[in-house]
Amino acid sequence: MLLRIPLALLLLLMAGCGARRPGVDEARDFINRAEARMMALSEESGRASWVQSTYIIEDTEILAAQAAERQIAATVEFAKQAARFDGVELPPDLARRMKLLKTSLTLATPADPKLSQELTRLVASMEGTYGKGKYCPAGVSDPAKCLDLQEITRIMANAREPGRLLEVWTGWHAIAPPMRNDYRRFVELSNQGAKALGFADTGAMWRSKYDMPPADFAREVERLWEQVKPLYVSLHAYVRNRLAQKYGANTVKAGEPIPAHLLGNMWAQSWENIYELVAPPSADPGYDLTRILRARKIDHLEMVRYGERFFTSLGFPPLPDTFWKRSLFLKPQDREVVCHASAWDVDNVNDLRLKMCIDITGEDFATIHHELGHNIYQRAYNQQPFLFRDSANDGFHEAIGDTIALSITPEYLVKLGFLQKAPDPSKDLGLLMSRALEKVAFLPFGIMIDQWRWKVFSGEIPPEKYNQSWWDLRLKYQGMAPPAPRSESDFDPGAKYHVPANVPYTRYFLAHILQFQFHRALARAAGCQGPLHRCSIYDNKEAGRRLSAMLEMGQSRPWPEALQALTGEKQMDATAILDYFAPLKQWLDEQNKGKPVGW
């Protein structure tokens, strides 16, 4: 008997056979192969990037760019292939790995190999331009007498003559205009790559990493900023008034933004270097950590050992021997390096490194704790599948080391033998002011950089308004004004490392929120009975256990679950900052009575 099938049904059946939906086993095989390849390329790129950052020449830039291009191209290709499994019902762990594959990039290259190569070369070149940047004062023809960023940073921190500060501020920002056209082209090409992966633009791709829709994440960031804004505005008003007393009412005007070169930092992103100008009366913290470190003749290696010992006191194992052999701790005399402090996990297993040109200062003492926090986190999740070898979200990574740094309290320094006894609690106002100048002052800067980039990537800020929009946002969030006339011939965003190096920045804002939330939870776990700002978790194994439990999760679960594992809370919450600085906020408001607040 001949069975006759209608032609339309036959065509439908044939089409269905040709479009067979892949299954779970095929998806798992794909993701395993992708992860193995991505891990190998990540290690190759990591080694090339390490050499580029620690030996800046044209050849190392090319080699790093080539390795990055291979890594990015492969990841982009895997992300595109992952679309085959859209709609396939996968086990939760496999579905999450597939999702993270699609959102793992901070830079997606176009499909065209020539454009892909152009894009990666642009990023390597811009980072190299930044790393080699120097200010050569007028009349100086000898390059050896020009000032690099490390030297300029010291001047910004210590000089108190407005003319000198303006000179080096302007001099450093002059390194950036040559990057302007490269950055415009970088935006075009990176957006091409992001759109090929299904994102509206590169900024939307970045915001898709946070276990929520991109628009929801943008609103979440603004919600957190609104929580802390009143504390920042109070601090800004008080500091502005004290700077006016120092520099005169014509230089720092009441009710107006603060000139950006007077805050002791090139970007006015933290203000702790001007502590002596704004310190509360009779509120000396009682010690100077920089002076203590230098008086004890502590060298760069011992600085790092102190950071390591904090983590071992919590129950974490020591850093591997290779860390001490392969890290860069001092600025070499024979070559250019990127001195910006960073922590490295070259092989995604145990090749941990620190790259930092260490100064014997209290600031670098805290920075070392921060960077080692990255290394400890990297090692904690190294048993997870490759795509889970990252922090719950990128703000978590930045927060962990800073959480430890919040434990650098007088009580901690007593345990190290740096102080005979902790200062009387009457000194706390000075301690809180010092920390607020570092942490609270940073918050608006932490949010505005990516506000600028998100708008640049989306086209809301066109190339002809790059610089104007940068300063519009610095005014809106920071209450800062440029100290010298600026125009579109300048490219002031390029004078901040993270812009030419294409490093997302919202992570640092989130980290400044999360570190206080983490600290409050860990202080409670450690049974701390005193004020939050006096709590140190040093040598407390229960706090270490809670911390380790979260770190080992890596990115295997959505970040609210990781947050809950440590804090018991599922939402990021800035009230811990308000708790920490409550005594200072009350004092600031008293000082600001009858004076302009805001700008």
> Is-catalytic flag, 336?
no
Do residues 395 and 509 touch, judged by C-beta distance below 8 A?
A: yes
Q: Which residues is 541 bridged to in the sheet?
A: none
How far apart CA 423 and CA 404 sit, in angstroms, is 21
Locate all alpha helices (DSSP H) within 55-179, ordered by sequence: 58-81, 92-103, 113-131, 149-158, 162-173
> Is-catalytic flag, 261?
no
Backbone angles phi, psi at 360, to 5 degrees: -85, 80
Of residues 173, 236, 261, 374, which has the active-site annotation? 374
Q: Hey, what are 174's tokens?
A: 């002059």
Do residues 472 and 542 touch, judged by C-beta distance below 8 A?
A: no
Of residues 466, 508, 538, 580, which has the active-site annotation? 508
Instruction: Write out the E strands in 523-578.
Output: none
Of residues 40, 341, 422, 565, which has the active-site annotation? 341
> Is-catalytic flag, 371?
yes
HSE, side-chain direction, 13 A CA sphere, residue 392: 24
Of residues 157, 247, 306, 498, which has the active-site annotation? 498
Of residues 35, 167, 398, 438, which has the active-site annotation? 398
Do residues 85 and 79 touch, judged by C-beta distance below 8 A?
A: no
> Is-catalytic flag, 498?
yes
Of residues 340, 369, 397, 533, which has the active-site annotation? 340
Of residues 176, 371, 436, 538, which has the active-site annotation? 371
* Terminal-residue alpha carbon distance, the chain: 90
> Is-catalytic flag, 58?
no
> Is-catalytic flag, 340?
yes
Of residues 261, 369, 370, 512, which has the active-site annotation? 370
Q: Measure Cα distances from 438 to 104, 397, 405 in Å.
A: 31, 19, 12
Q: Hey, what are 557's tokens?
A: 């679960």
Q: Measure Cα distances from 381 to 349, 363, 389, 392 in Å.
A: 9, 28, 6, 10
Q: Which residues have a catalytic role annotated?
A: 340-341, 370-371, 374, 398, 498, 508
